[in-house]
Structure formats: C-alpha cells, structure tokens
Amino acid sequence: MPESRGWSTNKRIEFSETIMMYNSPYIRVMRLHQPVGIWLLLWPCLWAVALASRHTMPPLDLLLLFAAGAIVMRSAGCIINDIVDKDIDVKVERTKIRPIAAGEISVKAAIVLTGVLMLIGLLILLEIGGLAVAIGFGSVILVGLYPFMKRVMPYPQLILAFTFNIGALMGWAAVTQAISVESLIFYASCMCWTMGYDTIYAHQDVRDDRKAGIKSTAVTFGKYSRSFIALFYALMVLLMAYTGLRIGFGLPFFLGMLWVAAHLGWQVYTVDLDNPRDCLRVFRSNTILGAIVFAAIMLEKIL
C-alpha cells in the first residue's frame, strides 16, 4: 500500500509539472499549447511536397524538415503578432490574457526569443536548400507585415493567406527547384482555404474588433460572411482539383476531393458565426481537412 501511495503521489507531481510547463508564458506566447495553427501552416507544405513528387512517394526528409520549420516559424510569427498587437490585445476579451499584453513577458524578452526562433528557422531553411531558401527569405517580409494590416486594410486575411501558405511554394520548389504554373494554382487554392477558415476564426472577436477599430474579413463581410466562406472554400476545391488534373492525377485523387468538398460544405452549413465557441470548433476542424487532402494525394500514389 505505501508503494501504491508513493506511485500515486509521483504521478500527481508529474501531472502538476506538466500543467505548469504548459502554463509557462513562454509556451503560451509561442502558442505551443494550441497546435492547430502549426497544422494549418504545415499542411500546405506537406501537400506541396507530395503533389510536386507526382506519382512517387514524397521524400521523408523534406516532410520532417518542413514539420520542424512549421513549429518554429509559427511560434515566431505568433510572437511578432503579439508584440505589434500588445496595445489592441488588451481591448479584446479573448486576447487580453496573452502573455505580452498581460505583462507576463517583456517586449525585450519576446524579441530575444523571436531572434532565437528565427535563427533556428534559418538553419532549417538552409538544410532544405535550393530555390526554397530564396522564397523563405522573401516570406519574412510578409510575416512582419501582417499584424499592421489589421489597422489599415479591410481584408487583412488576404495578407495572412499570402504569408501562411508560402510553404506551399517552398515545398513545391524544394522538390522541383522551379515555380511552375501548377504551383501557383496550388498556392491560390491554399490561400482560398485560409481566407475561409480565418474568416470563421475572426468571427470569435467580431464584436470586440468593431469596438476597437480592428479590421477583419468578419467585420467587413458582416452578414454575408457565410456566402464568402462558401465561395472561398469552393474555389479552394476547384483550384486544388485543377492542380491535380494538370499534373496527371486520376480517380483516387478526385474521389478524395469529393470528401474534401463534403467536409468544407459541412463547415459552411453548420457553423454558428454568432457563437465564438462554435466558430473555434469549426475552425479547429480544418486540421482534419488537411489530413483528408493529404490522404487524397497519397491515395493517388498508392492505388
């Protein structure tokens, strides 16, 4: 019995330490406790590597490098966003508890952490090599630009879409060492996906954003948001299917695209844009959507 109590105590200590680790302001400022964003950044990279490999299996080393890069660069992007937004985050209920806005982390410490993450990202990028390096350097400008667009642009999600999906071009270039028409069509497809899911995400804060003067597609589209989300999702599927057609994919891939269309249709039909919790639920489901697209690509290679 004493051994049992000791084991239980140790487990409680381990559990408490785990909770404390995830409650660290440095973990939270990097959003490592919220991995959805990592997946949304990573999926276009994985899709691109798999698509550009055509009927052969995607190189595992590239998939792993892009996975590491997505974790690091998403963390850096979140910190940059929070540094720029610290004065407006305090005006929004959902974001006022972010570590920089709440004063848990100084701006100086956040800048140092960003620098470390960017250095790690650079090392990963150089390991990928080739044309992807040039594209990666160009993306840094977009990463720094996005937070400011929420102050001046009615459609800041457009800049986010350019930024968040740059990995689609990098992944394609890492395989082919070229930017082709197919890669640009695919990039546009990924951008449409982001425009849709981030409009859903932005509806969580639409009331606070209006009061604070923060711009977003949720604020701009208003009562027409559902129609615009449906349009973006439809374009995502059509452009993705057209990419597959141009590179010679067949029935397995297009059957997978029907599955993708069904999932996106479910999002549009079921989401309650006036309910922040439901918006978050549907937004998070896009991690599953990413897996469905990847499965469709891999089915084409296997069958």
Instruction: Provide the whole-model pTM.
Output: 0.90
Q: Tens digits of per-residue pLDDT, 260-277? A: 999 999 999 999 999 999
Please, what is the average pLDDT of the chain?
Answer: 91
Residue pLDDT, tens place only, 55-99: 999 999 999 999 999 999 999 999 999 999 888 888 888 888 888
- pLDDT on residue 208: 87
- The torsion region of residue 213 among left (phi > 0), alpha (psi -120 to 50) and beta comes to left
Q: Which tens digits make up the pLDDT trace of 190-236? A: 999 999 999 999 999 999 888 888 899 999 999 999 999 999 999 99
Domain 27-302 has CATH 3.10.129.10: no
Enumerate the H helices of the chain as residue ranges.
2-22, 25-29, 36-52, 60-84, 86-89, 107-128, 131-152, 156-164, 166-176, 181-202, 206-212, 217-221, 225-246, 251-270, 276-284, 286-302
pLDDT tens by residue, 124-172 = 999 999 999 999 998 888 888 888 888 889 999 999 999 999 999 999 9
The answer to whether residues 132 and 170 touch, using CB atoms and an 8 Å cutoff, is: yes
Domain residue limits, the chain: 27-302
